Amino acid sequence: MSIGALNSFNTMMNKARNMSMSEASQNTKREDGVILVTEEWRDMARNGDAKTGEKYQELIKGFGQEYTKQLDEKFGNGDGVLTFDEYFKSEVGDIPSDAPQEEVQEMQKMIKIAFNRINLDGNKHIDAKEMTALLAAMDYDSESRVDGCITIKDFMSWSIKLGEKGKNFLDDLLKYNYKSFFGN
């Protein structure tokens, strides 16, 4: 990646914030998204190299580690994992003191659901492995293919699914990704 994971994600999120929900949900432009793979991986995939999957896992694991570390350094205490409060800050930043309490409570509920969904082992923090499973899930397109890019549309649709109450297919995908990347 040419820029750090957090910078790349922040750039994407800022673009998404400046779009209507309709525009964001249609934006599949790679240049507006986050590129997760290298040109080497693209060449391997084009050539049908059997090691493409291994290389993809290596790249996504590195991205997950970098992204988790950067979020923790910016919003947390630098211990390498995200508590709920650190994750909440990374999602919404500083909430103005005059923000309507009902809105703040609704945001907290949705982010708590997302946090619990990502926190696969239930240990009250999100680590790089769990973040890697999430990032890999966001890389699935509508045809369940991996293309090495999280577009604004991908990010928006997965973010909505993260905050939904009840079980959805993201739960199974996160568990599948975690197991395939890291074993049990």
SS (H, E, C) the chain: CCCCHHHHHHHHHHHHHCCCHHHHHHCCCHHHCEECCCHHHHHHHHCCCCCHHHHHHHHHHHHHHHHHHHHHHHHCCCCCCECHHHHHHHHHCCCCCCCCHHHHHHHHHHHHHHHHHHCCCCCCCECHHHHHHHHHHHCECCCCCECCEECHHHHHHHHHHHHCCCCCHHHHHHHHHHHHHHCC
Q: Over 50: is that where the pLDDT of 134 sits?
A: yes
Q: pLDDT value at position 3?
A: 53
Distance (Å, whole) CA 118 – CA 103: 23
Q: pLDDT value at position 144?
A: 77
**pLDDT tens-digit map of 100-132:** 999 889 989 999 999 999 999 999 999 999 999
Two tokens, residue 162: 């993260």
> Pick the residue with more confidence: 1 or 62?
62
Average model confidence (pLDDT) for the chain?
90
Q: Tell me the CA end-to-end span of the chain in Å, nearest whole number.
A: 29
Q: pLDDT value at position 2?
A: 43
| Highest-scoring range by mean pLDDT, 2-6, 97-101, 128-132 | 128-132
Q: Over 60: is that where the pLDDT of 159 sits?
A: yes
In the predicted model, what is the mean pLDDT of residues 136-154? 87
> Pick the residue with more confidence: 176 or 10?
176
Among residues of the chain, what percentage have pLDDT more than 70?
A: 98
Are 141 and 147 in contact by the 8 Å Cβ rule? The answer is yes
Q: pLDDT value at position 1?
A: 44
